[in-house]
Amino acid sequence: MIRRLVKGIGANFLGQMINVVSRIVLVPLFLLAWGADIYGEWLLLSSMVAYLSLTEMGAQSYIVNRMTQAYAGRDVALLRKILHTGLALFLILPLTVFILFITIIAFFNPAALLHITLTSHRLVLVVLAILSFQVVLSLPQSILLRVYFATENLPRGVMLGNLMQLTSFTLLAGGLWLHWGMVAIAVLQLIPFGLIAGLALWDLNRKFPQLQILSLAEADFTFGLSFIKPSLHFFLIQLGQAFSIQG
């Protein structure tokens, strides 16, 4: 117990250190590569896409709580059903949101909406498409990492998250040092999500073969409907945090 606690604290501390170093190093690199005005437009595009993550409506927090309960009760069948259903939902939902988002920005000019004047309309659309596809990868990836939290393997899950942060930092720093443009940087941001999702799938399938994580055979969308109401409680917390940040 004490050993697991120490590992968890150490993994979280390492994550905070990577996050701090990234913030300190990347901002000057962005300014050096693009200048303040282009970097400002990049932040506008990134913040617009960030709101898409709210479409999960608190379901991730609810699902990890349900998985934790099932694991604590040693109910492998229920844990497998919750996991399969959650993953199936978070493969379909973000892909649907992505398609709707692309359709909307294709008909409405996001550059005009965000008062972007230096970046071309076509480039804005491409960058938004790439950035929004991160949601398609990040939501199911987040469910995978939370399996570690639910199964008393929190340090392992946190370290995979740290690896993603470190990979992202390294790729972005290299790309900005080479003065790559918005599209290339958006693609570099996308890569770690796919890599860590693949690594987590392989590791979980090896560590917990009883979960049959590669099949999703026990996904039950009727069962998934029961997630909606309790998930909204977590969503209200996220919404309150988003509004508090925006002021």
Write down the pTM of the prediction.
0.88
φ/ψ of residue 17, rounded to 5: -65, -45
Q: Pick the residue with more confidence: 26 or 108?
A: 26
3-state secondary structure of 187: helix
CA distance 123 to 219: 38
What pLDDT, on the 0 to 100 scale, is given for residue 244?
Answer: 59
The rounded Cα 87 to chain-centroid distance in angstroms is: 13
**Digit-coded pLDDT (tens) for 120-173:** 888 999 999 999 999 888 888 988 999 998 888 888 888 999 999 999 999 999
The mean pLDDT value for 78-92 works out to 90
Residue type, 246: Q
- pLDDT digit string, tens, across residues 24-50: 999 999 999 999 999 999 999 998 888
CA 24 to chain centre: 22
Enumerate residues 6+ apart whose C-beta is below 8 A from 122: none
- 135 exposure class (CB count in 10 Å sphere: 0-12, 13-18, 19+): buried
Mean pLDDT over 57-68 rounds to 86
pLDDT-derived band at 2, boundaries 50, 70, 90: low
What whole-number distance in Å separates Cα of residue 193 and Cα of residue 131?
12
Please tell me the distance from the alpha carbon of residue 134 to that of residue 61, in angstroms, as a whole number.
Answer: 19
Cα separation, 142 vs 83, whole angstroms? 12
Q: Encode pLDDT of 178-232 as tens digits.
A: 999 999 999 999 999 999 999 999 999 999 999 888 888 888 888 888 887 878 7
Distances (CA, A) of 58 to 53, 139, 161: 10, 11, 19
- The answer to whether residues 185 and 41 touch, using CB atoms and an 8 Å cutoff, is no
What is the pLDDT at residue 1? 62
- pLDDT above 70: residue 243: no
pLDDT of residue 246 exceeding 70, the answer is no
